[in-house]
Amino acid sequence: MPVQLLNPSALPQPEFYAQLSVSEGSRLVFISGQVARDADGNPVGAGDLAAQAEQVYANVHAAVTAAGGSFADIAKLTVYVVDWEPGKVAQLGEGAMRAAQRLGFDFVRPITLLGVSALGEPDLLIEVEAVAVLP
């Protein structure tokens, strides 16, 4: 596994993400923003942030697996949430955890969370892009 997660003692110790990753590998994989669509392109979880987050994290997992890696190879996530407010953190975490439990991965990664006013389609509540490092 070419990605090592770190939480230096001089920084806050978050529960749901890592402060940084150190990556050693030879292939970078850039995963475009994944949204709440199933493999056939059908919308998933209308109006439900947790359901959409679960699908999005499952899609990121599918993408990195297709590249020959695993979620453990993801060095960085960028998460965009429509109309973000701190009260949404429980729904976001619930969806990510459900995907992780169902598919057997640890969703904790370095993460940037951005609140946005809208995404590419009006029903979307969340989008996640990722960078992975593979051997």
Quote the CA–CA distance of 59 and 99 in Å, as a whole number.
9
CATH number assigned to the domain comprising residue 112: 3.30.1330.40
3 state DSSP class of 87: helix
Would 6 be classed as within a structural domain?
A: no
| Residue 27 lies inside a defined structural domain of this protein | yes
The model's pLDDT over 4-42, given as tens digits with 9 standing for 90+, comes to 889 889 888 988 889 888 888 789 999 999 999 999 999
Q: Is residue 4 part of a domain?
A: no
- Cα–Cα dist 59/65, whole Å: 10
Q: Which of 31, 63, 50 is nearest to 125 (CA)?
A: 50
What's residue 33's pLDDT? 96
Q: What are phi and psi of 32, to 5 degrees?
A: -65, 165
Q: What is the mean pLDDT of the chain?
A: 94
Is pLDDT above 80 for 1? Answer: no
Inside any domain, residue 2: no
Residue 100 lies in a domain: yes
For residue range 39-60, list pLDDT tens digits in order: 999 999 999 999 999 999 999 9
| Domain of 35, in residue numbers | 15-134
pTM of the model: 0.90
Q: Is 72 exposed, middle or buried (0-12, 13-18, 19+ CB in 10 A)?
A: middle
- Distance CA(63)–CA(50), nearest Å, equals 20
Q: Is 7 within a domain?
A: no
Tell which residue, 39, 76, 81, has the closest CA to residue 59: 39
In angstroms, the CA 119 to CA 45 distance is 15
Domain assignment of residue 26, yes or no:
yes
Q: Does residue 3 sit within a domain?
A: no
Total domains in the fold of the chain: 1
